[in-house]
Structure 1
Amino acid sequence: MLTAKRNGKAAKRFLCKAIKSNGEPIKITIDKSGANTSAINDYNGDAGADIEIRQQIFEQHYRAGP
């Protein structure tokens, strides 16, 4: 769920919905977004969880059409 204005509050709301639907993960791989990092750290503190954060740079590759 990407929006033009991602913030920590919105990222945490999305994270909580995802965990409610799919269960609590052991690790989450995210981009370098501060909002996502903040949301996971907040969730860990509030829920007493220990979700590991893996940060990775995601690149998009574009190819020319035919």
Structure 2
Amino acid sequence: MVDQVAFQPLRSRGGEQLLGTIITSVALWIALREVASLATGAAPSASRPARCRAASCTSAGSGC
């Protein structure tokens, strides 16, 4: 189904459409990821960057 909706129209235009295929793949990946998170009820989790998890970054004014 994904092939028929997203990639078959690109192939039917003919020619080498590498950029179009890459853009379509990324857009489709984002859309499927969002659908999956909605279906499972997953919520985005906010976390600090790894450099801010170190004990040295717990002091105020460290930029973390």
TM-score by length of 2: 0.30
